[in-house]
Each structure stands twice: as structure tokens, then as C-alpha cells.
Structure 1
Amino acid sequence: MTHVTFIHGIGNKPAAEELHDIWLRSLAVDLDGINLGSEGITSSMIYWADVLYPEPDANVAAYESSEENTPKEVDADAHTRAPVPATMEEAAFVTGLAFKMGGTLAAAEAVEAMPTNRQLEGLPYERIPLPWPLKKAFMETFLRDVHHYLFNVEFSPRPGVKYRVQDEIRGRFVKAIADGASKGGRHIVVSHSMGTVIAYDCLKRVTKSKGIDALITIGSPLGLDEIQDKLRPEWTRADGYPSQKVEGEWINVFDRLDPVAGFDPFFSNDFQFGGNARVVDVEVSNDGVWRHAIVKYLRTAALRGGLRRLLDL
């Protein structure tokens, strides 16, 4: 039986089952939607928000709304402060990411250029006027979540619980991929935001992870040099494709005004297979003022078209 494994991105999230249902509904909505259950396709969600956040986000409606004008998934609180670098390596990592993230947020507000996608030719990009407190909350959350995972920080999200962040999340990924593989059919991983870093890290660098048939990355920061440097030595530009664990396609979906993906959204040059481009980069244009939301990406025709092809629908 064909199986799809989802993995979510940065910031706090609704509870695991609710988040899974949101992704399924967002993918199925409208006439061109994909209803996985109706197609006889099983699915699951790799949930890791509880590793970094004390309790699930209770405002499910706001998270799911495609009309939401603010990045709801990155509300700031005491648990989303940017990390305090403990070493020179960490300081360089955090500073570099902060500089690039600030640049993409500023560019998203100022850009008036035309998209390169021929289907959208003649349509200007939409301006993104986000208030500074929201930008700051987003940057702090992104920096903290990415840093804690890639540096395997020991972290306590609530009293009585402590994790090595990378170790814990890697374990969840490996188990979920094994469960998906046990279904016996095609197995596709659909990842978003920080979830794309986790998926790539595990598929490229964790030897005990099972393989999959195809990978979709959405709104991914994997194009950033700072993140790529933390994926060495397994990652190299000429041989970055996780070919030992991904038998088929890797489709990378991005919106240029997505502040997570916008600095370097194209992966075909950074994750080559034997020196040749293999990743399929797909540009979409989300609506509204916040382009990073998964509920918007899952509604795009290009993403759905790619997923249909991978699922042989």
C-alpha cells in the first residue's frame, strides 16, 4: 500500500493528530485536490514540535487559515528566543543565518520584479508588509529551531523532560520511515521548512534510516551555506543527492517570497548526483502576505501535480 510521510517545519504546532488532519485537508481542498484516503493511500506525520515547545498550539483555526495575515506558526514567547552561541562555530552559524534571513525578509517587502515563471509573466510580486515584531519573532524561532537541531543541543521544553534535540528527532524520523516502509508499497516523504533539513539529514547521514521512493521539500532552507556546512562531510555540492536512500525523484517546491527559501531556493546545483543536476526545482506563487505557510503550499497546482506523478495517480 502506498504511504506518504509528512514532516512539519519550524515553530510550535497544533497537536500531532490535528496537524496531520490540517495537512490532509489542505491537500484535498478544491477540485484539483488530492484526497489521500479516498485514493487508498495511507499517511502519517513526523511530529517534533514537543521536543522544543512546552505544549501544542491550541489555536488550530488560525494555523489552518489560508487568509491569516501573520506568521501564526512563529508566535514569540520565552521558548522561542534566539540561541546564545556558546562557541565561535555557533556564533558564525547564527550570525550568518540571521544576516541572510533579514535580507530575505527585507527583499520580500521591497521586491517589484516580475516572476520568471512564464505562466505568471506580467504579474508583479506582491509586497509583504510584516510588522517588525513579527519579523523578529520569526527570525528568533527559525534561528533557535535550526541551531538546536544541527548542534544537537540538550534542551528541556517542560519540567521533567530533557532531550538531545537532534538525537530525539532523528529517532522519530527513522521509526516513522521504517513504519512507512512496512506498508510494502511506494513511500513518499513530504517535508516543509525545518522538516526538510531533518529529512535530508536523516536520509543522507543516518545509515540506519530506511530508504524511500521519492522526496518533496517545500519552503526549504537547505540552500543556505551555513546549513550545508553543518551537513558535511556527507554533503558535497557534486554528490549531495541522497541517492542511497531516495530511489526516485526529489522535487523542491518554493516561493521566492518565502523568507525561509528565498535566499537560495534552487537545489539542482547544490545537491547534484555524480556532478549532474537531478533535483527538480518547482517555483510557485502563494497568495497573501505570508508565503511560508504549508496550508498555502499544499493548495498549489504545481505541488499537487508533482505529488500525483510520484504517487502514480
Structure 2
Amino acid sequence: MPHVTFIHGIANKPPADDLLRIWRRTLADAAEPLPLGDLGVTSSLVYWADLMYGDPDSDLSAHEGVLENTPQAVDASGGESPPQPRNAEEAAFLARLRSEMTELSDAEMAAPDAPAVPAQPQGALERVPLPWFLKKRIMNAFLRDVHHYLFDVEYAPPGRSAVHIQQTIRQRFIDTVCDAAVTRPHIVVSHSMGTVIAYDCLKRVGTCANVDGFITIGSPLGLDEIQDKLRPEWNRANGFPRSKVARDWVNIFDRLDPVCGFDPALANDYRDNDVGTIKDQVVVNDGAWRHSATKYLRQPVFGATLRGMLDL
């Protein structure tokens, strides 16, 4: 029986069971339906939003994924503060990653006359036609999640006990992917920051189970700053996690998705024995907020890719 393991990205989420139901329903209701249950496909979800954002946003469950479908929902997830570097290495990392998203200072973002889309956009966020107060919150959430994971920061939302973020999320991923109930073919579908987590585990954690296929959507893995933190296991000539991914890796992106940055294609950065085997696929999501997971899941190319990987 085929199986899909999903892993989500940035921003607060509905409870895990609700989020998995929303994603499965999105696939079933797509223009080219892929009803996993009717097709005998089981699924699971690697959930980590509670480690960064506190309690799941149960109010969003009733709205069938509103969190990912509107920029206002990113605002509703809270005004995350930017991460505070603990040393010069972390400060340099955050500065470089921030520059990929925008060249504007906080003061320039807050200026009442700051254009939503500058005449000559210099960063990924500057191409997105959203108000700057939303863009800043999106940026801070992304910077914090990436920083805390890649540097294994000990962190907890208010009222929780702090944990080492990378170690804890890695264990959740491994436990889910290695579940004895999971059958083959087994496909990992990852979104946003979830693509970094999934890749890190598939490439850098020896105890991770083998899977048959890997799909990344809205992935920031093309950013040099992230690649540098995946060394020494990652290098451009042998970045493909071939020891864990038996078949294909397909990367789907929208060029106006700000989390992908200016380098959304991955084939040349994650080569397989110096051969570019990743299949990069360009899509156009609707609306101003192009990073939505459910918008990617509705794309015909996504449905066709997943269906093919599952041998349906």
C-alpha cells in the first residue's frame, strides 16, 4: 500500500490531524483529483509548528487552510520577532539570509510611503505585492525558523519547556518516516522550511529510513546560506541524497514565491554524482501570496508527479 509523509513549513498551523485532513482534502478537490484514501494511499504528517509557535491555531481548522491561503493569516499567526544571534557566525548568517529577502532596513519598511513593490526590487520579498508590515512578519518567521533549526537553538514558545530545535524535529521526522506501519512506495512531500528539514534528515541522518521519492514545493534549499550550513554532507556535485531516495526528486516552485528566493531551481545545486537529476518544475500560483502549500498541492503538475511516484 503506497504511503505519503508530509512535512509543513513556516507559520503557525492548525492541529496536526486537521492540517493533514486539509492537505488530503485539497488533493481530492483539485482540478485533477487525487483522493488518497479512495486510492488506498495512507499518509502521515511531520508536525513541528508547536515547537516554534505554541498552541496550534484551532480556529483556522474550520476555514480549511485559511492560514496558508491568505497573507492576513500569516499576520494572524503573530508578529514574530527576529532571531537574536549568539555569536558572530550566526549574525553573519542572518544578515546574509535577510539580504536575500530584502535590501530595505526596518525603518524603510515602516515608512508610510514604502511602495509594496519597488521599481527595482532587490530581494525576494520586494517582488511580492503585500504591505510591508506583513512582509516583515513573514521574513522574521522565516529567519527564526531557519536559524533555530540549522543552529540547533534551545527554544520554547511562552509557557513551554525549551528543547533543542534541530534534535527534536529530526527525531520527529525519523520516527514518522521509520514507522513500521509505513509501506512502499513511500514518498516524502515537503513544503517551505519543511524541505530543509526533510533534506537534512535524508542526507545527514544515517538512521533515516529509505524512501522512494522526494517532492519539494516552495523550497529555500537553493539559497547559498542554507547550503553552507548543510556541509560537509552537502556539496554541489553530490548533493542528491541518493543513499536514501531510491528514485526521483521533483522540485516545484513559483518564481514569485518569496521563500524560494532568487534561486528556486535546485538541479544544479544538488547533483547526483555530478549529474543534474532533479526535475525542476515551474508553476504559477494565484493571488498575491504565492507560498501557500495548498496552492501548490492544487497544481496539476503536483498531482501528476505524486500520482506517478506512487505508481497509481
Q: TM-score, normalised by structure 2?
A: 0.89
- Please name the residue that 2:46 is paired with: 46
Structure 1 Cα separation of the partners of residues 137 and 72 of structure 2? 9
Indicate if the aligned counterparts of 1:12 and 1:74 stay in contact, CA closer than 8 A. Answer: no
Give 1:88 deviation, angstroms. Answer: 1.1
Structure 1 Cα separation of the partners of residues 202 and 160 of structure 2? 31
Amino acid at match of 2:190: S
Indicate if the aligned counterparts of 1:75 and 1:138 stay in contact, CA closer than 8 A. Answer: no
Amino acid at match of 1:145: D
Deviates more, 1:197-206 or 1:99-108: 99-108
Q: Percent identity among equivalent residues? A: 52
Cα RMSD (Å) of the superposition? 2.4
Runs (5+) with no aligned partner, structure 1: 113-126
- Please name the residue that 1:219 is paired with: 218
Structure 2 Cα separation of the partners of residues 110 and 200 of structure 1? 34
Structure 2 Cα separation of the partners of residues 269 and 111 of structure 1? 30
Indicate if the aligned counterparts of 2:116 and 2:132 stay in contact, CA closer than 8 A. Answer: no
- Please name the residue that 1:137 is paired with: 137
- Please name the residue that 1:168 is paired with: 168
Structure 1 Cα separation of the partners of residues 263 and 181 of structure 2? 36
Give 1:27 deviation, angstroms. Answer: 1.2
Give 1:159 deviation, angstroms. Answer: 2.4
- Please name the residue that 1:233 is paired with: 232
Structure 2 Cα separation of the partners of residues 22 and 255 of structure 1? 21
- Structure 2 counterparts to residues 199-214 of structure 1, below 5 A: 199-214=198-213
Runs (5+) with no aligned partner, structure 2: 121-126
Give 1:103 deviation, angstroms. Answer: 5.9
- Structure 2 counterparts to residues 79-98 of structure 1, below 5 A: 80-98=80-98
Indicate if the aligned counterparts of 2:116 and 2:130 stay in contact, CA closer than 8 A. Answer: no
Structure 2 Cα separation of the partners of residues 269 and 175 of structure 1? 31
Indicate if the aligned counterparts of 2:218 and 2:253 stay in contact, CA closer than 8 A. Answer: yes
- Please name the residue that 2:148 is paired with: 148
Structure 2 Cα separation of the partners of residues 227 and 88 of structure 1? 17
Aligned-partner SS, 2:263: coil
The verdict on how the C-alpha distance between 1:278 and 1:297 changes in structure 2, with shifts beyond 3 A counting, is same
Structure 1 Cα separation of the partners of residues 88 and 306 of structure 2? 41
Q: Could you report, residue by residue, the CA deviation over 1:118-174 in whole angstroms, capped at 9, with x for unpaired residues?
A: xxxxxxxxx742001100000000000110000000012242422100000000000
Aligned residue-pair number: 297
Q: Could you report, residue by residue, the CA deviation over 1:271-297 in whole angstroms, capped at 9, with x for unpaired residues?
A: 001111011100000000100001111
Give 1:224 deviation, angstroms. Answer: 0.3
Q: TM-score, normalised by structure 1?
A: 0.89
Q: Could you report, residue by residue, the CA deviation over 1:186-212 in whole angstroms, capped at 9, with x for unpaired residues?
A: 100000000000000000000111110
The verdict on how the C-alpha distance between 1:71 and 1:16 changes in structure 2, with shifts beyond 3 A counting, is same
Structure 1 Cα separation of the partners of residues 67 and 11 of structure 2? 17
The verdict on how the C-alpha distance between 1:63 and 1:71 changes in structure 2, with shifts beyond 3 A counting, is farther
- Please name the residue that 1:4 is paired with: 4
- Structure 2 counterparts to residues 1-313 of structure 1, below 5 A: 1-57=1-57, 58-61=59-62, 64-65=65-66, 68-70=69-71, 72-73=73-74, 75=76, 77=78, 80-102=80-102, 109=117, 128-179=128-179, 182-313=181-312
Q: Could you report, residue by residue, the CA deviation over 1:86-118 in whole angstroms, capped at 9, with x for unpaired residues?
A: 111101111111111126999994699xxxxxx
Indicate if the aligned counterparts of 2:31 and 2:300 stay in contact, CA closer than 8 A. Answer: no
Indicate if the aligned counterparts of 2:69 and 2:292 stay in contact, CA closer than 8 A. Answer: no
- Please name the residue that 2:124 is paired with: none
- Please name the residue that 2:123 is paired with: none
Aligned-partner SS, 1:298: helix
Q: Could you report, residue by residue, the CA deviation over 1:242-266 in whole angstroms, capped at 9, with x for unpaired residues?
A: 0000000000000000001131011
